Structure 1
Amino acid sequence: MIGYVMDLLLSHGALDVFTQAIGMKKSRPAVLITVICPCDRLEICEDILFRETTTLGIRRRLQERRIIPREIFSIETKLGTARVKIADRNKFKTIQPEYEDCVQLAKIHQLPLSEVQAIVLQIAQSILQD
């Protein structure tokens, strides 16, 4: 059920969802679901949690978010096309292959995901250096 709820939250605008195994009062095991969402998606995400889980209450907290400017580029590899996200951090750039694209290429070519990610990253880095 937790995986289903996570997918539902993400498809309705949550930016991220993660879980933690916790112990409640009377030593009861439980799963804590944390949902990070924009304010305009708050009510929708809360409705999903109340409808799809056994929770009787939700704690919420407003937080500020700082993001690094980033761009997404498509690059050609020997395995096919993959997108990479490039974040500009003033003095240096961070390159991250897009997970979904790498998963698709790994399945198509029956390669380990880590190998596909390394190939995509290497090509992206060489393109940036040119």
Structure 2
Amino acid sequence: MIETNLDDQTGERTGYVMDRLLAAGAYDVFFTPIQMKKNRPATKLTVLGNVNDKELLTKLILQETTTIGIRFQTWQRTIMQRHFVTVKTSYGDVQIKVARYEDIEKKMPEYEDCADLAMKFNVSFNTVYQAALVEIQKLDKK
């Protein structure tokens, strides 16, 4: 985990660094509103990534933000094994992420597929998402 506090950076520049960090391989990037000394409003930038990418991500943060210092922590994590299956809905194919850990299984329609089909057919996102969930339930019964 890489973190820094930003108290003098524009929102546009902050969004830009998020895109750059994700493109460079960060697992996740997020912002937390904070108050710094002298009660200054600021944003804490948190980047989660592979320890092997630490130098690349650090350089990007230093290059693309106003910060002059960065904090690091090494964490362990457990992740569910993932794979994808495709279901056919009346709106088109939707990728389903299947995640497993021991006896736990989760199935989730992919956001991008649902969003694209909702736009294409001029229906709500939820309509496509629910159609995909119906198809997931059919898979579970097989």
TM-score > 0.5 by shorter chain: yes
2:46 is the counterpart of 1:34: yes
Instruction: Give the whole-Å Cα distance in 2 for the aligned partners of 1:26 and 1:43.
Output: 31
In structure 2, which of residues 100, 105, 123 is the aligned counterpart of residue 111 of structure 1?
Answer: 123
Moved more, 53-62 or 82-91: 82-91
1:92 Cα deviation from its structure 2 partner: 4.1
1:3 is aligned to 15
1:60 is aligned to 72
Give 1:45's aligned amino acid: L
1:44 Cα deviation from its structure 2 partner: 1.2
Instruction: Give the whole-Å Cα distance in 2 for the aligned partners of 1:45 and 1:108.
Output: 36
Aligned length: 130
2:100 is the counterpart of 1:88: yes
2:114 is aligned to 102
Give 1:88's aligned amino acid: R
Instruction: Give the whole-Å Cα distance in 1 for the aligned partners of 2:51 and 2:102.
Output: 29
1:115 Cα deviation from its structure 2 partner: 2.5
**RMSD (Å), alpha carbons:** 1.3
Indicate the structure whose relative CO is greater, using CA pairs within 8 Å and at least 6 residues apart: 2
SS at match of 1:88: strand
SS at match of 2:33: strand
1:107 Cα deviation from its structure 2 partner: 1.5
User: What TM-score results when the alignment is normalised by the length of structure 2?
Assistant: 0.85
SS at match of 1:65: coil
Instruction: Give the whole-Å Cα distance in 2 for the aligned partners of 1:60 and 1:115.
Output: 42
Would you say the 8 A contact 1:95–1:125 is kept in 2?
A: no
2:5 is aligned to none
SS at match of 2:72: coil
Q: 1:29-78, CA deviations, whole angstroms, 9 ceiling, x for partnerless residues?
A: 11111100001211111111111111111111000011112211112111
1:17 is aligned to 29
113 and 10 in structure 1: CA distance in 2 versus 1, 3 angstrom threshold = same
Q: Structure 2 regions of 5+ residues with no counterpart?
A: 1-12
User: What TM-score results when the alignment is normalised by the length of structure 1?
Assistant: 0.92
SS at match of 1:122: helix
Aligned residues with identical type, % of pairs: 36
